[in-house]
Amino acid sequence: MQRIREVLGTGWLGHGQFVMEFEGRLKLYLGASHVVAVSSGTAALHLALDAIGVRTGDEVIVPSLTFCGCVQAITALNAKPVFCEVSPQTLNIDVADARKRITSRTRAIMPVHYCGNACDMDALLAVGRDYDVKIIEDAAHAFGSSYHGRKLGSFGDLTCFSFDPIKNITCGEGGAVALSDEKRAQLIRHKRLLGIDRDGWLRHCEQQGWLYDVSTQGYRYHMSNINAAIGLAQMEKLDGFLQRRRHIAQRYNEAFSGIEGIKLLEWNLEESCPFAYVVRVVDGRRDDLIDDLKHQQVATGVNYIPNHLHSHFVAHASSLPVTERLWREIVTLPLYCDMKETDVSRVIESVYSFFARRA
């Protein structure tokens, strides 16, 4: 609340000094060359694709098992999403399958760091170099996660984060693009503010602040000071959030590893900041488990219905038998920082109860 009061005290609620401070904090934390804060994770993906020049008829390879925001960012540029498979072990992008789907029209591959576990970035960046395509990382689940000791966002081409209300940190609503290319970073800064070459805060601080130029196609994707202030306060708590999420995921891993009928995802909890905890129910009883847990007052979810099965994207559908099998197995169990140990225990006991009654 103190940060919000500071914003209100300035009288400048829109894009301004708090956004710049938040970008600086992100840049320092991630070890990134440039960070541009925006209004949402989907806006970050859209701007990243736009900045590398994705246009009508271009192709972007993306796992179908992800949130629709990834695909909407592609189709917003009149580009074609090319759906690929995911690994049964991690639900991250199947790099070998993605490689097979590259054509002369492929401009980018969009891996998703599912649940906060990093994709095989060495393999993906090698593919990018081999075929001269960009890797646009969707790290909406993975703020705070690392790969081989380096924070996601500190290497690679462009990395996009989400700070919506359910993510590892929140701005209320928001996102960011981390990247190394200075020219692209400047382009994204202009595009997030309707293509205007100088934002309102900078103009406010200068003489003849009413002068500006619209230099490129842009969007209303900037972050406000209020959202940035929330993000700054959340950054102070990130280490605690990370440890709590890891602890809950570890408790689940230990509890569920011996249950026949459940397969766990492969986790690297030394480097992951878990966003969600997903298991595979491999005996055809996923929906029964969901219904049973609901009766036991344990909320669950399914992340996600594959995008190629949605009516809006069916024209881009392709054969994805692995993905279609996996989405009928996955269930998301509660994982949030305010969970008490008794809450975690109740989730574990409820899952055990289901399988014990159906043994």
Query: Known catalytic residue: 167?
Result: yes
Neighbouring residues of 97: CB distance < 8 A, sequence distance ≥ 6: 84, 85
CA distances from 178 to 21, 148, 160, 343 (A): 15, 18, 6, 36
Query: CA-to-CA distance for 24 and 213, rounded, in angstroms?
Result: 26
- Catalytic entry in 27, 134, 151, 167: 167
Helix (H) or strand (E) holding 264: strand 262-264
> For the purposes of burial, counting CB atoms within 10 Å of the CB of 132, is it exposed (0-12), middle (13-18) or buried (19 or more)?
exposed
Closest among 44, 95, 99, 98 to 72, alpha carbons compared: 44
Tokens of 342: 């008794």
**By the 8 A CB rule, do 81 and 127 touch?**
no
Cis (ω within 30 of 0) for the bond into 147? no
Neighbours of 310 (CB within 10 A): 15
Q: Do residues 25 and 178 lie in contact, with contact meaning Cβ atoms separated by under 8 Å?
A: no
| Residue 279 dihedral angles phi and psi, to the nearest 5° | -120, 160
Given a contact cutoff of 8 angstroms between Cβ atoms, the answer to whether 212 and 197 are in contact is yes
**Residues contacting 142, CB < 8 A, separation 6+:** 113, 116, 117, 118, 152, 161, 168, 272, 273, 275
Where in the sequence numbering do the catalytic residues fall? 167
